[in-house]
Amino acid sequence: MSIAVVEKAGDVRVYGSGSPGGKGAGLIKINELSIPKVGKLRTRILTTDFYDHYRQNAGTFGDEERLVVSSILEELGDIPLGIRSSATNEAGRTTGSFSPIHAGENATFMLPNNHPDRAVRVSQAIQAIGYIYEDFQRRQPASSPERMGIVINPIPGLFDDTLAGPVYYPYISGVASSFFPHALKNQDPKEGFGRIAFGHGYATVLDDFPVISMATIRNPIPLNLLRIGNGQQYFYALDMTKNTDLKGEELETMKKLHVRFANYHKIRILGIQRNVITIEELVQKDHFGFRTTLAEIMETIGRCISSHFQIEFVFNLDFSRKENREGTFHIVQLTELPELKFDAIPAPRSVRRTYLSIPNSQGHGVTRNIEHAVVVSPFIYTKDMQKAIREKISQVNRDMQARGERYILIVPGRLGSKNPDWGIYVDYKDVEQAAAIFEYGVDAAGRAEPLPEEGSLTGGIYGSHFLYMIQGGFDEEQKRLATRMYGTQGTHFLTNLMSNNIIYGYVTPQRDTFDPWFFSSPNPGVGLSVLRFPNPVSVYADSLKQSCSVVAEND
């Protein structure tokens, strides 16, 4: 293997003549731009040539590849490093056209890179690359043309010697999208939305504890109207003692800590109440120019990108300065998103049966000839069934893919969440064949289990769902004040659903049209049922009106 090295703008170096993959291509583009108050992220990319050679060598690295990794670590120094997957199908457009978006499906490792023996640091980095390759290989069908690149970056952040041990994390991590599909009438959807957290970015792209949502970026609704509870109670941090071997588990070098373990003097300037972080100082009061700079960043990128896009970023303060502290953004990922054509949706022709009709959905278009509904019963499901139900959903999805069929999925709670109290955890690949997904149940308090209620038509109230909901209010202004962001926007799961135009919505059982047929399982007591519609149905989804219906049409 003869390794070509190409220098790119903004301290980016590409090794090999293959593809840099999705993340790599995005970082190359970002570093070519001049964006106010954004630091250039030093970036080293191992192209897909390394992946090909790894496979040809039966899963081993040659001396030449090891030498490249060693030289990269020596050049970058002993700062913590991200060893990040960059698959060719991972982050939007890598050539002139879009392919299906598969964000967050592949492993990434964060490394302390602080062992006193340089050979150990190199060995851990090579282990991480090998685990990324192997995880990717396992997920690909034998005929898949997709390949894997690797991005190596220093992690901008700060050290914190906590009572739980030495850790390292970005001060603020976030994800921001250029378009807000669920803006209210008095908001501009082109202002986009953000999802931000104290600590490492896993808190923003996963969904296992509440973080802060900004709806929209330039003129966000006051955070005290958007929070679940009072703010962020937990954060992710890199455990600086995990600096030798790896087991192959993506989060194994991370610690999930309560915010009381963080340095109080650092978090109090974000806004803190009763041991939870509000981040109101940055968002509402625009301290250090956080909100206005983020808006400028999105506008600058938007002028250079022809499509909608999403970025992942970090924001850090210079704590060595006691006065006039300045903040610096770094963009760690750019994903270009396909834009839907919002053609007028025709009204359904005369219908013989309406199975579902809701006023809250995302996605746009008409899908016909759907024969099956996959239903997880809110009457039966409990969180201890999560693993078994996930396996069944995944198997049904594979069966449908093999037959080339689409289906409708109905689940209680929030789909895709890693918090078992909120819903059923699945990866996007477990449901990517679905034409439409509907979450069932309403509970503003976010309660976890179905709760029996006298006179309820639903069998109980199931907690937490969808992107956000509007509670009460007689006019648009009252509705705006009653908004509750549920913090799922910006997660990898919802990015994939939105980008690939899988219709997604939630059902309020006592308000919306919802046919009891969906609970007509021939096997009472079984948590998941695969039902065949008496006649094929069509899904009509209008994202402009945020409405969706599932109907059996007359011939």
Lowest mean pLDDT among 40-44, 57-61, 212-216: 212-216
Q: String of b and e for 526-538 (b: at least 16 CB within 10 Å)?
A: ebbbebebeeebb
Inter-residue contact 314 to 196 (CB < 8 Å): no
Which of 176-180, 279-283, 500-504, 547-551 shows the highest mean pLDDT? 547-551
What's the whole-number mean pLDDT along residues 93-106?
58
Report pLDDT for 455. 46
Residue whose pair of structure tokens reads 């802060």 in the numeric block: 212
Is residue 259's pLDDT more than 70?
yes
Q: What would the pLDDT profile of 288-321 be if each residue is shown by its tens digit?
A: 999 999 999 999 999 988 788 989 999 999 888 7
By percentage, how much of the chain surpasses pLDDT 90?
51
For 399-444, write each residue's pLDDT tens digit.
999 999 999 999 987 788 777 777 788 988 899 999 999 988 644 3
pLDDT at 472: 37
pLDDT of residue 11: 92
* Nearest by Cα to 82 from 17, 34, 132: 132
- Residue 479 near residue 184, CB atoms below 8 Å: yes
What 389-393 contacts at long range (C-beta under 8 Å, 24+ apart), as own/partner pairs, is 389/424, 389/527, 389/528, 390/424, 390/425, 390/426, 390/430, 392/527, 392/528, 393/424, 393/426, 393/430, 393/431, 393/528
Lowest mean pLDDT among 28-42, 66-80, 214-228: 214-228
Beta bridge partners of 277: 232, 272
pLDDT, position 180: 77
Give me the helices (H) in 164-289, please.
Answer: 202-205, 264-267, 280-283
Single pTM value for the model: 0.82
CATH code assigned to 1-155: 3.30.1490.20
State the pLDDT confidence band at 360, using cuts at 50, 70 and 90.
confident
In the structure, what pLDDT confidence band is assigned to residue 182 with cuts at 50, 70 and 90?
A: low
Both tokens of residue 320? Answer: 């060595």
What tokens appear for 488 in the block? 């799922």
Provide the phi-psi class of 163: left if phi over 0, else alpha when psi is between -120 and 50, else beta.
alpha
C-alpha span between 459 and 483 (Å, rounded) = 26
| Highest mean pLDDT: which range of 79-83, 142-146, 469-473 | 79-83
pLDDT > 60? residue 485: no
Domain residue extents for the chain: 1-155, 169-241+267-338, 351-553
Taking the C-alpha atoms of residue 313 and residue 315, their distance in angstroms, rounded to an integer, is 7
Which residues, 6+ apart, have CB-to-CB distance to 531 below 8 Å?
372, 373, 374, 375, 517, 518, 520, 521
Would the pLDDT of 452 be above 70? no
Helices (H) and strands (E) in the chain, counts: 11, 28
The whole-angstrom separation of Cα 376 and Cα 200 is 33
Calculate the average pLDDT of the chain: 84
Question: Would you call 372 helix, strand, or coil by DSSP?
Answer: strand
Structure token digits, residue 324: 């006039």
Is the pLDDT score of 446 beyond 70?
no
Same CATH topology for 1-155 and 169-241+267-338? no
**Residues ≥6 apart with Cβ < 8 Å to 474:** none
pLDDT at 214: 81
**What's the pLDDT score for residue 340?**
67
Listing DSSP states for 129-176 in one string gives: HHHHHHHHHHHS-TT----EEEEEEE---EEEEETTEEEEE-SEEEEE
Select the more confidently predicted residue: 1 or 276: 276
- What's the pLDDT at 110? 97
Q: Which residues of 491-518 are buried (b: 16+ CB within 10 A; e: fewer)?
A: bbbbbbbbbbbbbbbbbbbeebebeeeb
Mean pLDDT in residue range 14-40 = 93
Check pLDDT > 60 for residue 523: yes
**For residues 203 and 491, which has the higher predicted lDDT (pLDDT)?**
203
Determine the pLDDT at residue 247: 95
What fold, for 169-241+267-338?
A: D-amino Acid Aminotransferase; Chain A, domain 1 (3.30.470)
Residue 217 predicted with pLDDT over 50: yes
Higher pLDDT, 401 or 510: 401
Judge whether residue 77 has pLDDT over 50.
yes
Buried b (16+ CB within 10 A) or exposed e, 231-270: bbbbbbbbbbebbeebeeebeebbbebebebbeeeebeeb
Write the CB contacts of 170 (distance below 8 Å, at least 6 apart in sequence): 155, 156, 157, 158, 199, 200, 201, 314, 315, 316
Given CA atoms 528, 533, 537, 542 in this order, what sign does their dihedral have?
negative
Residue 339 has pLDDT above 60, yes or no: yes
CA torsion sign, 256 to 261 to 266 to 270? Answer: positive
Q: Grade residue 470 by pLDDT with cuts at 50, 70 and 90.
A: very low
